[in-house]
Chain A
């Protein structure tokens, strides 16, 4: 009858010391309790309204109790919402968590920060009825199509005034903002501040008027500053932030932006110093390109096709530098496995043939060149490997195959082994960086553990096994700074562990043969091309069957 059950009344009675309350009395009291509570809430809502708020707070209820000449309930004045806890064993019983506070604790605790004092900030909400696009104002419905606008206005009747489009005037604040950001991007002296600026670029509203200026700025600086690695990196970060900002519609400017971005991906030379890690920049830009394609591919149908065409052309042009090839491969790889399968894998064979002489230590004496070549090889392997892994992992995991299968596989692997070893030795002689070594260590690890026959241990083994070759490399790689090496190896480890995770994925070979001959063929082809280096990408069971 009342929303207050009689049990509640009984509990309240007990809490104030009345133990012998008759159930009938409780039943009679319940509706009155409800009425009083509603009455208090009605007054509390009035207090809330007059405090110009739309959420009821404990102080409003206190105010309402005051109005009714009732002692307010103390101890609920804190601003934080109450944390109700469920009483164990009861379904609907809750209580507020009342922590015991130690006086010592309170006294010894450092004084809390003084709250900021109230202040007034003044800005223009509108000028002549038009809201200026400044950060203080809520984001506007950005740039409506004029045609739409007109239709809308006509609907409103003849009374409406049709305003001509406002001439694009950039407010002083925005100009300052732009200048500041541009300075930060150029100066590279204060990375912390630049980071803040990027956050602001990625989140602030009202920046839309600046977008054309930014695209222009980026295009200019990229074409001018190809030798300045840090600048390029900063610019790419700026692009990324602009893409992230939800208040900015960047599509109309993409055509201006894309050439600079692609330049940073496949340019022959980025930065002028040896220590400039342009590989990182290319990786970053590749992700950026992928982001753009993902976001705006649907709007700009030709975007991805044009992009891939550019990249494939860069890749297949043997006259282009290896760094360019690397960028193209990373760009394609970032665009997704389908792109890799269609464009990269199909061109894999001729390209690897092209790359072969560069990889060979005897033929290629130039260390930088050889380093680049291995870098390209690594990227290619990673792209192909991830692609094939993606193909394979879609098959549902089935019970693992019989050990005899594994045994069969083992034999073959052993057969290939000598050749493998030779390769890895070659590369270590060449003082190739860690990353490439690792890509080769992987198969080694697989082999060795296959020897031991402990299939489930696959995850750990490669990591353990990579230690000896690492040691062998480090002394000889004296030319490189040890720092770089360290970071490289860390990089390698991360990638390695990712691959290991992939290895644990289980699927069944039967599925491959039956369901998708394609991927089988692909696998065979990749294996032919890469030898065993592709194996870490392949779920172990499939691999064993395949072998």
Chain B
């Protein structure tokens, strides 16, 4: 090897890298020692090193090298041993996107695009949405501007890999001297090598999300302690106490009486269903009998430690409390054998304008938020009365719900100046909150049919708003990437939860009111402490935007649904996904747990309501801890609607499931 040549390489390399001073010094140095081989640097004599130096000087400006070395690495990984293949393939995705971003960053737009297109197929299945985002990045400035790209560039990806796969990879990289790949892998991947056999490919949920810098922080945050137990002295407790005093016969009477009440309500809304509801009544009893047994079983499981409320909770009037207790006492116990009845509210003639729907806790009020800034509230009980009133011949106090023109049978609430994205009823049903693209949240009274308060605080459209389980407080989330906690009596937010990397799309309260959960377009779900405003959990695993959240009534689990139709069940204390529930093939708009937490209902844009058995999951998690994977959750029933995407779901306190959606013309 000619030392002169090597010197040239070195000087060229230094110049290229911008070390002009060093290059000059080196040149001077060589000039001084011209001819003499008294070089103190030993790179002249080390063939390996010279090769390396030469490769450095060559590759820098050559965009085709990325393609070559990537495709070599790719074919090697695809031809590797089956056992280790999926682990090695996992490495390919970060390498791929960083190759692409390197190319873009160096201004080789054309080559970058060609490179991207030729290999994107490999990763489309898992990372489609990321790829769609990255595809638009075409200049170095875009890399800077785009949050996603920036976080990718800054952070390292953690990849769990077994010892042997790791050795294989290193061997390959050294043998082929693909320094380019080696550089990228070193720079952007953080291997967590473990000994033993490679894990099965299905368990790598974490590997599929590249979450940027907060993987570590997420792990850190998830160490924090959370208290997911229910509140002390909750209504359920009181029910246990009072319920224990009632003898069985009394209970039975109560049931039939209430069944009648329930019946009459239904009769008012649904004429001509008597036969079925009587049948229902009978079955309710049977269901209760089985459920009592089930309750005995579950009561042996030690309940979670009760917690004190961190917020000052509103005092509940005794009337309301009594009615709730009454409802709870007459709740139909649901399980995989006792299925709920589903009452469906179909919005017709919406002209594609219905953005959201909400159902009050007793199912009697239904609110729709429309893209023409209006909110319409229907009182289903009154609609039923006016219908049955004609039948019974008693036209009693059917006062002006219709408003001035008398024909309208809903209450029109006007006030927003942009599409209404969300509406929520307070637990007793006397207030409605709505959030809109005009960045405000408005409080409406269903008694006065008027706007009471306008809450301004968000800077961008407010995507979602939710009343707390006890009313008074509410949480909102917005395109401005924050979630905020408010109380009804103050127009300023009480807390601002910032931390999501993209829009916060949905929000949900924990049953004990001390936490809220938020789902975001950054594909994570976070749990926040209401009192401190801190993020206490990050749930990573979704592959697309999170659209809906639900908390189990016992406060231990959370379900989240995403744009792809996947529903994930999370254990709040460990921040781990218990299992993904696959079944829907379009956006999951709505999730709801049944009153005692044994069933999960999900409503989707694919025009179905699905019921999932989640009791078996809680059992199997315990089993899982002992004997590995014994699977798991299952879909119990699918109820297809007639081309009506399901926007909202609500289990009433008596476990009747209400669902709502807008009839949309099937695409012809």
Instruction: Using CB atoms and an 8 Å cutoff, list the residues of chain A in contact with chain B.
Output: 1-2, 31-32, 34-35, 38-39, 42, 46-47, 49-54, 57, 59, 63, 66-67, 79, 115-132, 136-138, 156, 159, 161, 169, 171-173, 176
Most buried by B among A2, A118, A136, A138: A118
Q: How far, in whole Å, are A513 and B355 apart by their CA atoms in the complex?
A: 74
Q: Is the CB of B269 closer than 8 A to any CB of chain A? A: yes
CA distance A50 to B659 in the complex (A): 18
Q: Which residues of chain B (602-652) have a CB below 8 Å from chain A? A: 605, 607, 609, 611, 616, 634, 636-637, 639-643, 645, 647
Q: Tell me whether A52 and B354 are in contact in the complex, defined as CB-CB below 8 angstroms, given that A129-B637, A161-B337 are known contacts.
A: yes
What residues on B are CB-neighbors of A117 within 8 Å? 349, 408
Kindly identify, within residues 349 to 391 of chain B, every residue whose CB is under 8 Å from any CB belonging to chain A. Answer: 349-356, 366, 368, 370-371, 376, 378, 380, 383
Partner of B109, one of A2, A57, A127: A2
Q: When chains A and B are docked, how far (Å) is the Cα of A39 from the Cα of B356?
A: 25
Give the contacts of B114-144 with A (CB-CB under 8 A): 133, 135-139, 142
Report 23 cross-chain contacts, Cβ distance below 8 Å, ordered by A residue.
A42-B133, A46-B503, A46-B521, A50-B421, A54-B605, A59-B419, A63-B437, A118-B410, A119-B348, A119-B409, A120-B380, A122-B344, A125-B641, A126-B609, A127-B276, A128-B280, A128-B283, A129-B338, A129-B341, A130-B339, A137-B640, A138-B642, A161-B337
Q: Which residues of chain B have C-beta atoms less than 8 A from A39's C-beta? A: 136
Complex Cα distance A305/B533, Å? Answer: 81
Kindly list chain A residues whose C-beta atoms are within 8 Å of the C-beta of B460.
67
Are B341 and A53 in contact, with the CB atoms below 8 A?
no
| A63 cross-chain contacts in B, Cβ below 8 A | 419, 437, 461
Decide: B355 and A51 in contact? CB cutoff 8 A. Answer: yes
Q: Cβ of A51 and Cβ of B421 under 8 Å apart? A: yes
In this complex, what residue of B is CB-closest to A129? B339
Q: Is the CB of B349 within 8 A of A66?
A: no
What 0/1 pattern do residues 412 to 434 of B give for CB contact below 8 A with A?
00000001010000000000000
Q: Is the CB of B342 within 8 A of A124?
A: yes
Pick from B346, B366, B586: contact of A136, CB below 8 A: B346
**A1's contact among B110, B347, B589, by CB below 8 Å, is which?**
B110
B393 close to chain A: CB less than 8 A: no
Q: Is the CB of A123 within 8 A of B346?
A: yes
Q: Are A123 and B344 in contact, CB atoms less than 8 angstroms apart?
A: yes
Given contacts A2-B109, A118-B347, A118-B348, contact A125 B586 (CB under 8 A): no
B340 at the interface (CB under 8 A from A): yes
How far does the alpha carbon of A169 sit from the alpha carbon of B276 in the complex, in Å?
A: 9
B568 within 8 A of A: no
Chain B residues with CB below 8 A from A50, complex form: 355, 421, 461, 463, 505
B273 adjacent to chain A (CB < 8 Å): yes
Cα distance, A46 to B461, chains bound together (Å): 11
Please name all residues of chain B whose beta carbon is closer than 8 Å to the beta carbon of A38 when the two chains form the complex.
133, 135-136
A124 pairs with B273, CB closer than 8 A: yes
Residues of B near A46 (CB, < 8 A) are 479, 503, 505, 521, 545
Q: Supply 8 further A-B pairs (C-beta < 8 A) apart from A51-B371, A115-B351.
A: A46-B479, A50-B461, A54-B586, A54-B587, A115-B349, A118-B410, A119-B348, A172-B274
Tell me, in angstroms, the Cα distance from A16 to B586 when the chains sit together.
41
Report how far A159 CA is from B620 CA in the complex, Å. 13
Cβ-defined contact, A1 with B109, below 8 A = yes
Are A122 and B270 in contact, with the CB atoms below 8 A?
yes
Q: Could you give, for residues 440-468 of chain B, a 1 whenever the CB lies within 8 Å of some chain A CB and a 0 otherwise?
A: 00000000000000000000110100000
Complex Cα gap A67–B419 (Å)? 13
Pairs A-B, 9 closest by C-beta atoms: A129-B339, A31-B138, A38-B136, A125-B344, A125-B342, A116-B349, A138-B640, A126-B342, A1-B110
Q: How far is the CA of A169 from the CA of B283 in the complex (A)?
A: 16
Which of A66, A115, A120 is the one whose CB lies under 8 Å from B366?
A: A120
Q: How far is the CB of B131 from chain A (nearest CB, A)?
A: 12
Cβ contact within 8 Å between A67 and B461: yes
B352 touching A53, Cβ below 8 Å: yes
Tell me if A2 and B138 are in contact (CB < 8 A). Answer: yes
Given that A51-B419, A161-B336 are known contacts, is A124 also in contact with B344, CB under 8 Å in the complex?
A: yes
- Bound-state CA distance A75–B128 (Å) is 33
Question: Which residues of the other chain, A, contact B336 by a CB distance below 8 angstroms?
Answer: 159, 161
Q: B641 is contacted by which of A53, A54, A118, A138 (Cβ under 8 Å)?
A: A138
The residue from A32, A47, A118, A127 contacting B280, defined by CB atoms under 8 A apart: A127
Contact partners of B368 in chain A: CB under 8 A: 118
B76 contacts the other chain (CB 8 A)? no
Q: Which residues of B contact A125 (CB under 8 A)?
A: 342-344, 609, 639, 641, 659
Question: How many residue pairs, one in A and one in B, have C-beta atoms under 8 Å apart?
Answer: 186
Pairwise interchain contact A126-B339, C-beta atoms closer than 8 A: yes
Q: Are B645 and A52 in contact (CB under 8 A)?
A: yes
Cross-chain contact B347 with A126 (CB below 8 angstroms): no
Give bound CA distance, A124 to B343, whole Å: 5
Alpha-carbon gap, A49 to B345, bound state (A): 21
Question: Nearest chain A CB to B566's CB is how many angstroms away?
Answer: 15
- Chain B nearest CB from A153 CB (Å) reads 12
Find the A residue at minimum CB distance from B460: A67
A279 CB to nearest chain B CB (Å): 40
Determine the chain B residues whose CB is within 8 A of the CB of A132 once the complex forms. 276
**CA–CA, A132 to B279, complex, Å?**
13
Q: Using Cβ atoms and an 8 Å threshold, which residues of chain A touch B349?
A: 115-119
When distances are taken between beta carbons in the complex, the residues of chain B under 8 Å from A49 are: 505, 545, 547, 563, 587
**Hey, which chain A residues are within 8 Å of B586, CB to CB?**
54
A160 CA / B110 CA spacing, docked (Å): 57
Residue of B nearest to A51 (CB): B355
Of B110, B136, B505, most A-chain CB atoms within 10 Å: B136
Contact A126 B139 (CB under 8 A): no
Measured CA separation A46–B641 after assembly (Å): 25
Whole-angstrom distance between the alpha carbons of A136 and B663 in the complex? 11
B275 interface contact, C-beta 8 A: yes
Q: A1 to chain B: which residues have CB within 8 Å?
A: 109-110, 113, 138
Contact yes or no, A67 B563, CB < 8 A? no
B303 CB within 8 Å of chain A: no
B450 CB to closest chain A CB (Å) equals: 21
Across-interface contacts of B272 in A (CB, < 8 A): 172-173, 176
Least CB distance, A80 to chain B, in whole angstroms: 12
Cα distance A118–B353 in the bound complex, in angstroms: 10
How far does the Cβ of A53 sit from chain B's closest Cβ, in whole Å?
A: 7
Q: Is the CB of A118 within 8 A of B376?
A: yes
For residue A302, give the distance in angstroms from its CB to the closest CB of chain B. 37
List the A residue with the shortest CB-CB distance to B419.
Answer: A51
CB A201 to nearest CB in B, in angstroms, measures 18
**Contacting A34 at CB < 8 Å: which of B136, B269, B479, B563?**
B136
Chain B stretch 167-183: residues in CB contact (< 8 A) with chain A:
none
Give chain B interface residues in 86-132, CB to chain A under 8 Å. 109-110, 113
Chain B residues closer than 8 Å to A116, beta-carbon distance: 348-349
CB distance from B417 to the nearest CB of A (A): 11
Please determine whether A35 and B346 come into contact, CB atoms closer than 8 angstroms: no
Contacts of B409 in A (CB 8 A): 119
A122→B641 CA distance, assembly (Å)? 12
Of A35, A51, A66, A171, which is in contact with the most chain B CB atoms at under 10 Å from its CB?
Answer: A51
- What CA separation (Å) do A49 and B544 show in the bound complex? 12
CB-based contact B270/A123 at 8 Å: yes
Q: How far does the alpha carbon of A125 sit from the alpha carbon of B607 in the complex, in Å?
A: 12
Closest CB of chain B to A314's CB: distance in Å?
Answer: 46
Task: Point out which of B142, B409, B607 has the most chain A C-beta atoms below 10 A from its C-beta.
Answer: B142
> What's the least CB distance linking A5 to chain B, in Å?
13
A326 → B minimal CB distance (Å):
43
Q: Are B351 and A122 touching (Cβ within 8 A)? A: no
A132 CA to B276 CA, complexed, in Å = 10
Residues of chain B lying within 8 A (CB to CB) of residue A115: 349, 351
Contacts of A53 in B (CB 8 A): 352
Residue of B274, B353, B640 with highest tally of chain A CB at under 10 A: B640
Instruction: Say which residue of B270, B351, B660 sits within 8 Å of A124 (CB atoms).
Output: B270
Residue of A whose beta carbon sits closest to that of B112? A1
> What is the bound-complex CA distance between A159 and B623, given in angstroms?
15
Which B-chain residue is minimally distant from A173 (CB atoms)?
B272
